[in-house]
Structure 1
Amino acid sequence: MQVALVGLGVMGKNLALNMIEKGITLVAYDKNPHAGEELLSCAKSQGMADRLHIVSDLGDMVRRLEAPRSILLLVPAGELVDAVCNELVEAGVQCNDMIVDCGNSNYKDGINRKLKYQNKFEFATMGISGGAEGARHGPAMMASGSEGGWERIEPWFEKAAASYNGESCFARVGQSASGHFVKMVHNGIEYALMQLIAEVYQLLRIGTGRSPKEVADIFNEWSEGQLNSYLLSISSHILSLENNKQEPLVDLIDNKVGAKGTGLWTAQNALELGIAVPSLVAAVQARHLTNVCDTTAAQEMTYATKATSKVDIELDELKDAFTLASLLAYRQGLALIKGASRTHQWKVDLSKTLQTWRAGCIIRADYLDSVAQGVEFIDTLEKESNALRKVAGQAVMSGLAFPVLASTQTYLATLTTPSNGHLVQAQRDYFGEHGIKTHSGEICHLTDLVEIDAKVR
């Protein structure tokens, strides 16, 4: 099996070694010749150089590959993807060749590129999660595009991906650019889970006065049970680390949080599609707030420091609240994927999507089986629901910030208790005559139901 790979940065290099190890003959290229030399050196040291061919230009790459060709792009998102695609067209790729964008591109760019290049080659997308370590030893791989192109290489990618209980974490999740959309939402869920863990840490550290190591022990205990997940495990490890002065490592780190854009894209697309994912949006805004002092509006948005209060949190209730909040972060993400799939007619398979997340990726967790059971299962979690209410209330009363915890409780409450939407809709009709719908299904205006004083209006 022959595959080509363009882009030998950290992810490209490690994925290349993974693929060679799995038996794929790889033709690789990077505009930086040192990147190719480094990859070849690594392959030689591991006795795999016979399956690697480094080329000096894309023309040579195309000539070396037998048609129909399969070429992976691991280059930075944006204009460079189009530049490489155009060069490949000039180099002689054909209609039956498949070019796969494996970077963190915006799915809208993937839709446009599929149309742009439809008479030149088959354009497909694949989201890859797991970082450098995952790329080397088995990442989560969320592919999309027509079945035809993937059929010839799918068995090999199933081997290169991570596996869980004997099942590969590679899947063609849907059509068009749905692979990148699924990866984008994966990252949005990642934002929410990271922020949620940080908020629980904040509640235990400042709200109850525990040390980082004590919080690490709690997280470690949770990780040994049903809450076992990659993010909770690394958080426990981070909180246990100290420098040579026995100072907690976490206390030495600047409080500003970085972001690369996929979380923001998740929030933006949810708003555009009209699908509520408040936990994911709150996590994005939480990162923005940590950087508020660097904005032009800093003076208007910076307030005096306020005192906070200690709280008495029952650990079993906190665990239950954390469990439900985690499940709801995934469910919001899946609802967004389902809504986008319906809008774009992608036919995304949610069960395949969850399978790709079972191992190799950042949001892997043992409780994904519970997520797969859906809303019906979440409706049975009465103890956890009550715990989320109580803990969210206690947390807010401490005076500390809990954007994801509070948003998640609001999300669940909005969907399970009486809404206040009738008053808001009445307000809209009062000043804008947008119309209201009565319980009988009639569409009318407030003035049809009651006479309103013109002076008040």
Structure 2
Amino acid sequence: MVTHIWTVSKVDDFLANEAKGTKVVGAQSLKEMVSKLKKPQLIILLVKAGQAVDYFIKKLVPLLDIGDIIIDGGNSEYRDTTRQCQDLKAKGILFVGNGVSGGEEGESCCDWVGDEGAGHFVKMAHNGTEYGDMQLICEAYHLMKDVLGMAQDKMAQAFEDWNKTELDSFLIEITANILKFQGADGKHLLPKIRDSAGQKGMGKWTTISALEYGIPVTLIGEAVFARCLSSLKDGRIQASKKLKGPQKFQFDGDKKSFLEDIQNVPLHFQDRLLCSRLYAAKAGSHRCIPRKDKGCSAVENHQDSWWWAVSTGVQAGIPMPCFVTALSFYDKYRHEMLPANLIQAQRDSFGAHTYELLAKPGQFIHTNWTGHGGSVSSSSYNA
């Protein structure tokens, strides 16, 4: 059940401050707002995904005419957008799913990627990729802080330096700024922030969609679980008093060299490689594929650094779910032969699910492994 408390105080405050001296006008109700719009009427919703979107559409539809347009600029689940498109089309009203991104700074780019829920699907996959990138950056920060013992200003400088390399990105840039930021007391703000990360569903939806399409986006999944685990703050406080990590570890290597190893961990490999396939699966967009090629090259050139950074962090007891899962994905992907042949044999042995031979792909076979079964097998398919 959605409970709405109507208030216009924020409208009044905005008109009296940020919008003062501009052509921005306010309204005291949805009816008044719609009456102020030119034909065809165009309305942009920026509200919480889910029930709130449904609620406002329900309230708006009686006030609109055929040919009017509603744009959902929030982070809606793409299936909801598809449903709204179809429902409103029957009423003669156009609906556009257009996820907006960029925070206070905003972004000056916009593109059409497909009908119905395609726009919100791409926004979902974009944000899911961001989950992975953010967690990887956080794990690099953790290694700098707790393995190398770097001061915060030194870490900020490292991220600034990285942003002048192939790691140049918005997230690396803001990380450097966050590490430098000081509050009114002249002390760094970051160490005072509670280490319990929130989320609004985009990473979870990306992971669910990846499972539905059979795409192993394990890095994004681990990033979602890392946020879930971070929210168990009270339990972690209790556990930290009883569960001790490695007691004898002390980093005695070359700190500058290890920092370079952390930098060389390809922060954008697995998530971008697989999200390019996820984009293509739904929206027919191949925009991320060039990034995939660059990512594979980065991995090949710096894989020794990756293995060393991960192994050192593991010895130090540093949690690195995304570093580790990305490395595991890479090591699996580069192997011509994986032990999945044993899984297929197990499935056929206990459930007659069949298997293929290397020499005869596409031909599914069942074997009577115990001598007590028969030749009857189940059909072969992938769910």
SS of 1:187's partner is helix
1:173 to 95, 105, 113: 113
Is 1:384 the counterpart of 2:302? The answer is: yes
How far off is 1:247 after superposition?
6.0
Per the alignment, residue 278 of structure 2 pairs with 336
Task: Compute the displacement of 1:334 (Å).
Answer: 2.4
The alpha-carbon deviation at position 302 of structure 1 amounts to 10
Deviations 1:54-91 (A, max 9, x none): 23333333343333222111122222222221222211
Supply the distance in 2 between the matched residues of 1:237 and 1:83 (Cα, whole angstroms): 39
User: What are the equivalent positions in structure 2 for 1:414-425 lying under 5 Å apart?
Assistant: 414-417=332-335, 418-425=337-344
TM value normalised by structure 2: 0.84
**Counterpart residue type for residue 68 of structure 1:** P
Q: 2:49 aligns with which of 59, 77, 82?
A: 77
Q: CA-to-partner distance for each residue in 1:245-293, whole Å, 9 max, x for gaps?
A: 8765433332222222222222222222221111111111111112235
Q: Which segment is superposed worse, 53-62 or 116-125?
A: 53-62
Q: Spell out the pairing of 1:141-180 with structure 2 (5 A cutoff).
A: 162=108, 169-180=109-120
2-side partners of 1:301 and 1:208: how far apart? 21
Partner of 2:69: 98
Percent of aligned pairs with the same amino acid: 28
Structure 2 residue 176 is the aligned partner of structure 1 residue 236: yes
Q: Cα distance, 1:41 vs. partner? A: 2.6
CA contact (8 A) 2:246 2:315 kept: no
List gaps (5 residues or longer) in structure 2: 374-383
Partner of 1:306: 245
TM superposition shift of 1:444: 0.8
> Which of 256, 260, 265 is the aligned partner of 1:316?
260
Q: Letter of the aligned partner of 2:353 in structure 1?
A: H
Contact 2:144 2:259 in 1 (8 A): no
Amino acid paired to 1:320: N
CA–CA separation in structure 2 for the residues paired with 1:409 and 1:315: 18
Equivalent residues in 2 for 1:6-45, closer than 5 Å: 31-42=6-17, 45=20
CA RMSD across the alignment: 2.9
CA distance in 2 between counterparts of 1:350 and 1:37 reads: 45
Q: Shift of residue 298 of structure 1?
A: 11
> 1:394 aligned to 2:345?
no
Residue 335 of structure 1, CA deviation = 2.2
Query: Per-residue deviation at 1:185?
Result: 1.7
Task: Say if 1:110 and 1:125, in contact at 8 Å, map to a contact too.
Answer: yes
Contact 2:268 / 2:295 at 8 angstroms: preserved in 1?
A: no
User: SS at the partner of 2:111?
Assistant: strand
Aligned amino acid, residue 261 of structure 1: G
Cα shift at 1:196: 0.7
Q: Using a 3 Å threshold, how does the CA distance of structure 1 residues 301 and 436 change in structure 2: closer, same or farther?
A: farther
Contact 1:292–1:301 (8 Å) recurs in 2: no
Find the residue that maps to 2:71 and give its secondary structure: strand
Distance 1:66 1:235, change over 3 A: closer
Query: What are the ranges of 5 or more consecutive residues in structure 1 without an aligned counterpart?
Result: 1-29, 141-161, 163-168, 352-370
CA contact (8 A) 1:209 1:310 kept: no
Pair 1:301–1:205, CA change in 2 (3 A): closer
- Give 1:326 shift: 2.1
Cα offset, 1:402, TM superposition: 0.5
Q: Aligned pair in 2 of structure 1 residues 34, 241: CA closer, same or farther (>3 Å)? A: closer
Determine the C-alpha separation between the residues in 1 that align with 2:42 and 2:78: 20
Aligned to 1:89: 61
Partner residue of 1:407?
A: 325
SS where residue 254 of structure 1 aligns?
A: coil
Residue 436 of structure 1 and its aligned partner are, at CA, apart by 0.7
What's the counterpart of residue 349 of structure 2? 430
Mapped to 1, the partners of 2:309 and 2:234 lie a distance apart of 32
Q: Does 1:130 align with 2:121?
A: no
SS of residue paired to 1:373: helix
